[in-house]
Structure 1
Amino acid sequence: MDSFAKKVRTFDAFPKVDSQHTVRSQRGGFSTLMTAFCGLLIVWVEIGGFLGGYVDHQFIVDNEIKSSLVINVDMLVAMPCEFLHTNVEDITKDRYLAGETLNFQGTNFITPPTFNINNINDKHDTPDLDEIMQDSLRAEFSVSGARINEGAPACHIFGSIPVSHVKGDFHITAKGLGYSDRSHVPLEALNFSHVIQEFSFGDFYPFINNPLDASGKLTEEPLISYSYFAKVVPTLYQRLGLVVDTNQYSLTENNHVFKLEHKRPTGIPGIFFKYDFEPIKLIIIERRLPFIQFVARLATIVGGLLILGGYLFRMYEKILVVLLGKKYVDKDREKKSGGILDNDVKQKINSD
């Protein structure tokens, strides 16, 4: 057994110092306690990180072929419903009458106090994994194509619009402007002030925050055009087998007031949502380190901490020697008997 212990000791990367060659001090004890405390703290943090996992963000080329998706809309426009015309036109020049699936409900125009009104939507943050998992309640609008109380001064427009998965434009204009129509809205009756409760792409998750949610514009210009430009990125959230497949989008916007020439505006007033789809996909997934990798990482960190603690303590001792002298440093150390000088003293005392 002793021979086996000697063979193992030869492979020790950190050979131990014999106890008779070491001394103890208050500073050394305090250093040991601090190193042990830091080590336990790091172990606690690493174990918590291992159990809780980490969030991995990846961008990949979106190789999934999609032919269509839906645009979810819930907004209020400060004009009667019978004055409004809604339409979708994509890059292939295909048109879809959004009014066939959207719902129009006459109501009074209000601006909720918590909405971001007449400000640029530049404070939107990408929802994190915890927020998405808490708010991932999928829903659908219960009605489609309904028209209620159209004579009211404002119009509540809500519903889902099926569109092709290509670059397109969803817009809200006044009848008789931009499209030929039997009715014509007087220019003085135009008012494209609006508030947006929901504007999203794909499956409808009403509690997930989007850049246009809870925003709006107020204006007194009848011939104004509001344009929103959205870059849509498919996004997949995944945690413990739960998958939320949705879409995020970045947003830029501008507005333009048209002039009146020959009693006709020089452009088309309205609200325009222009969208395009990026060829990439964002994957946000919760992962955990493999157990063997976790143990190796933990051992590496603790070993490095012990080595660093030793170096720092020796550096501290040398600084004290330079500043206060060797006598000050030695007075706190434990005094041990032994060694050549002590043996010579003992022999001299015995001979006397």
Structure 2
Amino acid sequence: MRRLTKKKALTLVKELDAFPKVPDSYVESTASGGTVSLIAFCLMAVLAFLEFFVYTNTWMRYEYEVDKDFSSKLRINVDITVAMRCQYIGADVLDLAETMVASDGLKYEPVNFELSPEQRLWHINHSLHVVFFLLPHSEDSSTSYTACRIHGHLYVNKVAGNFHITVGKSIPHPRGHAHLIKVAVAVMHEMLKITVLTCRCATAYNFSHRIDHLSFGEGIPGIINLLDGTEKVSPDSNHMFQYFITIVPTKLNTYKVSADTHQYSVTERERAINHAAGSHGVSGIFMKYDISSLMVRVTEQHMPLWQFLVRLCGIIGGIFSTTGMVHSMVGFLVDVVCCRFKMGIYKPPKVNEIVIVKTSL
């Protein structure tokens, strides 16, 4: 009974075989079949090779969510050169809550604004890099520096604010803050809450500048900031340069780097200060920034191994099945046409054929 049961089970399993074996005596090898097989194998190899490259590559996935971190500080990284002496200008930040941020993290370094050809080439090559080196000075440069390089970083509240560089050093003021030079003649700018104290209101100021680096948050290799390498030359004596910046918090997670940084977009505007013509304001460089409430999460992704194997099996099986079907259809059509010719269906009739019919009376 057990033997009968085993035989029935084996017979049932054999009937369920989806891959029946054909004896070699019933298999016919043809030149056309070999050609199609060779083409199929080459196509499989090429597509499998390309699929392997897709498997080894990575891509970035972008997700958007509400930024819930409002208590942390925002880091501003600055490296800017202004065509004025360091003792005449000052840089600080005033946020939307009229809180003046101390600029202790900024350093003032006397430099020359005009670059030599070697320095200009260096600036072009390195202005878009994340790691910035000190600009090399030429040996024949004058010791009388006419410009000021302001570089360093500041930590501010995550609210809208105004980073500005204007005449004088900043001091506390009941209505905001003031920039003091030496003596006390005040020119109040109500919109920006900035007071410039100077002895001569008609003094000419040159705020031509070069932005070597401006970023927000942690520095990450490979990120290009929009204002890096920007150079503005003032066409007249008193000029206002404005940059309206929108900052987007960004969380970056890759296989090499994981950091919280910020991207930004910028709109530029500049105009001449001429009180007689009705163009009021304060000469200087003003960077008004606002922080977006949405955060971008950038994640580096990689194709999993199981998905690669499934796609590879799909490529091999699909090509094998498709080429087999195409070969069978082409072979069937060729056989049909050849058989019709062999049977004489397309044999042309004789034109002058005379049929003689004999009848017996």
TM-score by length of 1: 0.69
Aligned ranges for residues 128-143 of structure 1 at < 5 Å?
Answer: none
2:288 equivalent in structure 1:
274
Q: Kindly tell me the number of residue pairs found equivalent between the two proteins.
A: 298
What SS is found at the alignment partner of 1:30?
Answer: helix
DSSP-derived class of the 1:301 partner: helix
1:79 corresponds to 2:62: no
Displacement of 1:283 in angstroms is: 2.6
**1:133-172 mapped onto 2 (5 Å cutoff):** 152-172=145-165
Whole-angstrom CA distance in 2 between matches of 1:235 and 1:194: 28
Aligned residue in 2 for 1:197: 212
1:91 alignment partner, one of 65, 83, 96: 96
Does the C-alpha gap of structure 1 residues 228 and 180 become closer, same or farther in structure 2, counting only changes over 3 Å?
Answer: closer
| Equivalent in the alignment of 1:173 | 166
Gaps of 5+ in 2: 1-5, 135-142, 169-185, 342-361
Q: Aligned to 1:59, which of 56, 64, 84?
A: 64
User: Following the alignment from structure 2 to structure 1, what is the Cα–Cα distance between the partners of residues 42 and 70?
Assistant: 55
Is residue 10 of structure 1 aligned with residue 16 of structure 2? yes
- 1:34–1:220 Cα change, 3 Å: same
Instruction: Please give the root-mean-square deviation of Cα atoms over the aligned residues, in Å.
Output: 4.0
User: In the alignment, what sits opposite 2:173?
Assistant: none
Q: More relative contact order in 1 or in 2 (CA 8 Å, sep 6+)?
A: 1
Q: Does 1:228 align with 2:232?
A: no
Indicate whether 1:212 and 2:224 are aligned: no
The one of 279, 284, 298 aligned to 2:298: 284
Whether the 8 Å CA contact 1:140–1:204 is kept in 2: the answer is no
Counterpart mapping for 1:106-145 below 5 A: 106-111=110-115, 112-113=120-121
Deviation at 1:212, TM superposition (A): 0.7
Partner of 2:267: 252
Query: Could you tell me which amino acid in structure 1 is paired with residue 301 of structure 2?
Result: R
Write the deviation string for residues 202-237 of structure 1: whole angstroms up to 9, x where unpaired.
Answer: 124577421111111112222322221222222233
Separation in 1, partners of 2:154, 2:90: 14
Q: How does 1:289-328 map to 2 (within 5 A)?
A: 289-313=303-327, 326-327=337-338
SS in 2 for 1:36: helix
> Mean alpha-carbon deviation: is it higher for 32-41 or for 105-114?
105-114
Task: State the secondary structure of the residue aligned to 2:206.
Answer: coil
Distance 2:41 2:109 in 1: 68
- How far off is 1:136 after superposition? 7.9
Q: 2-side partners of 1:61 and 1:249: how far apart?
A: 17
Question: Does the C-alpha gap of structure 1 residues 193 and 182 become closer, same or farther in structure 2, counting only changes over 3 Å?
Answer: closer
2:43 match? 38
Q: Quote the offset at 1:163 in angstroms.
A: 0.9
Task: Note the C-alpha offset of 1:67.
Answer: 2.9
SS in 1 for 2:153: strand
Q: In structure 2, what is the Cα distance between the partners aligned to 1:285 and 1:78?
A: 42
Residues 71 and 199, structure 1, Cα contact 8 Å, conserved in 2? yes
* Cα distance in 2, alignment partners of residues 21 and 90 from structure 1: 88
- How far apart in 2 are the matches of 1:62 and 1:8? 63
CA-to-aligned-CA distance 1:148-196 (integer Å, 9 cap, x gap): xx97311111111111111111111223664435534664531111111
Q: Percent identity?
A: 28
Structure 2 contact 75–155 (Cα < 8 Å) conserved:
yes
Q: Identify if the C-alpha distance between structure 1 residues 51 and 181 changes in structure 2 by more than 3 Å, giving closer, same or farther.
A: closer
C-alpha contact (below 8 Å) 1:235/1:284 kept by paired residues? yes
Letter in 2 for 1:288: H
Whether the 8 Å contact between 1:83 and 1:185 is mirrored in structure 2 is: no
Q: Residue type of the partner of 1:272?
A: F
Where 1:74 maps in the other structure, the secondary structure is strand
For 2:106, the equivalent position in structure 1 comes to 102
Q: Which amino acid aligns with 1:306?
A: F
* Counterpart position of 1:29: 34
Note if contact 2:272-2:279 (Cα within 8 Å) is conserved in structure 1.
no
Judged with a 3 Å threshold, the aligned counterparts in structure 2 of structure 1 residues 40 and 173 are, in CA distance, closer, same or farther, namely same
Q: Deviations over 1:234-275 (max 9, x none)?
A: 22332336413321112221222232329x962222211121
C-alpha distance in 2 between matches for 1:219 and 1:252 = 18
The equivalent of 1:119 in structure 2 is none
